Each structure stands twice: as C-alpha cells, then as structure tokens.
Amino acid sequence: MKNSITDIPGIEIGHAQDDEALTGCTVILCRKGAVGGLDQRGGAPGTRETDLLNPVNMVEKIHAVLLSGGSAFGLDAATGVMRYLEEQKIGLNVGVARVPIVPAAVLFDLALGRADIRPDAEMGYSAAASASTENTGVGNLGAGTGATVGKILGMKQAMKAGLGTASMEIGGGVIVGAIVAVNAFGDVINPQTGAILAGARSAEVGPLKFGTEGEFADTLRVMQTLSGRTVMKFAARGNTVIGAVATNAKLSKSEATKVAQMAQDGLARTIRPAHTMLDGDTIFALSTGNKKADVSTVGAFAAEVMAQAILRATEEATSIGGILGVK
C-alpha cells in the first residue's frame, strides 16, 4: 500500500503542469474501463461529459477522468486525453471507431501565475501519456499546481494548497482510495481538533481586524460580521475542490453515485465552509473490481480517505507565487 489511489488495481495517475503559469492537470486513467458515478455540489462547477454518469444513461464504463486547472479553458485538456486513449485503442466500441469516455472537472487558478496559459490538449495528452501506478506525488503538482484556499479576504491573505491522495484497506481485500485538488473558498480544518490548518490569514477589513498577526482570520467569523458581509459581495469566485474516489469493490452506476455523494462528507469535514455558491465542488467515483462489499461501508470509508487526501494536499503544499504554504 502506497497511501495512494493507485493502490486500487486498474487505476493509474498522470500529471502535467506549467511551473511558470502555475497551472496543470491530472489524469486518472482506467485502461480497462471503470464504472463511474458523480456528485457535484456548490454553485460554480466547470465540467465536461458528466451527464453520461447519471445512472439512467446508457454508457456503463469510463476510461479516464480529467482534473484540471485553467477554469473552463482547462476542459480543452480532455481532448488530449481522448487522443492518447484512441492511439492506445482504448474506448467505447461504436463499430466505426473506439470513443474514449473522459469526464472532466476544472478549478479556477487563473489568479495565480499567468492567466493567459491554461491546460490545453497537449498538456492533457502529456498527462495521460505519463500515467502509471508509481505516480503517488502530492502538493504543488498537476491539477493542484495553482490551488489555493481561504480567499474571503483576497489572494494576498490566502494560502497555498495542492493535490493530495490517500487509500486504505477496509476489510475483505476491499481497498478505497481518493485523489483531490484543493482549491477551496473556505479554510482547511483538522477534523480531529477543529483547528484551522490553512486558510484566510489575519487582515483588517474596514473597522475590524480579523485575527492577530500570524493567525487565521477564520472565514466563518468573517462571514458573520457586517464587514464580512460586504466582503462577500466581492469575494473571489476562483474556487472549487475537484477529485475522485476509487475502489476495487463491485459497484453499479447508481452505487457509484451514492459513494461519490458520501465522499463529499470528507470534504465537508475538512473544509469550512464547503459547497458554497463560490465553489463548484465535484467528486467522481470509480469501481474497477469485483470484490463484494456493502455500498454504505464503501461510501463511509470513501469519506475518510477523501478527508485524508485533502489534509495531505494542504500539508504538503509549498509557498509559491507569493502565496504562503504550510510546508
């Protein structure tokens, strides 16, 4: 076990990024296909090919998931992932061609680095081509390259977050893993102590000073003040946590959807507030195996590994572009 989503048989991870523009993308590759589900919350999502994950729709398996920076521009990277998979003869056989099924979700990182350079088809192709079971890195990597948290007081008071992954065996040979790019409006919280790990740092807003020097402002505290309510009208719209959970348990599309829903609980435990109108939080769920398991049990531990992945993404992020990191 590598404490990575790649501990799930059939899952490979690939990354590509631009360290000057501070943006990138991450591909979760399933060469033999995976049953997929989706749960999207918050008011500002950016997605592609997610409707087909609805259990009432026809397609049963997907071949990759793209997590990307670049806001809506970053959805273009999925084209490169499709091109790579087509070259590998991976995709849905429609008779005249194989069509790779690649759902995607994006986060907004244009306010850090360069806004005119975003993940494109070439970057998506590069990420897919690099995919392997050995890619277990965390921090300022792939889709987490330009990720930040705690933006209620603006980018100058925000902190760096990044990409995280985690996994655990839950019994009977069943493994559950998660990968996530943490780019939240709110603060990242240690669920064991309630302490803020990373988030909006102290600053003066109008007549009030939130936090003392070197301390956190506490996004919830800011939101409930008159000055905070004024700030909310101008608060950064550039947020969204995107990620995926995977398991070797056998799941139907509806069961995978339930697991994705339950995995959002891990997000809510570690990010405060979560699922706001300024976030587009989107979680995919993938099933690659035939292990028998209770779907509620899989979902419960999907929330656990999602929480662990979010904490790792934050703890391992380093300062970059003038934004302070925990590490």
List the chain domain ranges.
5-315
What pLDDT shows up at residue 228? 74
* 8-state DSSP, 202: P
Q: What is the pLDDT of residues 281-327, one digit of tens each?
A: 999 999 999 999 999 999 999 999 999 999 999 999 999 999 999 98
Angle formed by the axes of helices 295-315 and 253-270, to 10°?
Answer: 40
Q: What is the pLDDT of residues 274-290, one digit of tens each?
A: 999 999 999 999 999 99
Q: What is the pLDDT of residues 26-72, one digit of tens each?
A: 999 999 999 999 999 989 999 999 999 999 999 999 999 999 999 99
Give the up-direction half-sphere exposure of residue 170: CA atoms within 13 A in the CB hemisphere.
26
Give the up-direction half-sphere exposure of residue 97: CA atoms within 13 A in the CB hemisphere.
8
Strand locations in 107-201, DSSP E? 148-149, 159-160, 163-171, 174-181, 187-189, 196-198
Residue 325 in contact with residue 294, Cβ under 8 Å? no
Task: Supply the CATH classification number for the domain 5-315.
Answer: 3.60.70.12
Nearest CA among 134, 124, 122, 200 for reference residue 161? 200
Quote the tokens at residue 160: 């760096």
Q: What is the pLDDT of residues 67-101, one digit of tens each?
A: 999 999 999 999 999 999 999 999 999 999 999 99
Give the up-direction half-sphere exposure of residue 259: CA atoms within 13 A in the CB hemisphere.
36
- What does the CA dihedral 303, 307, 312, 313 come to, rounded to 10 degrees? 90
The model's pTM: 0.95
Neighbour count for residue 2 (Cβ, 10 Å) = 13
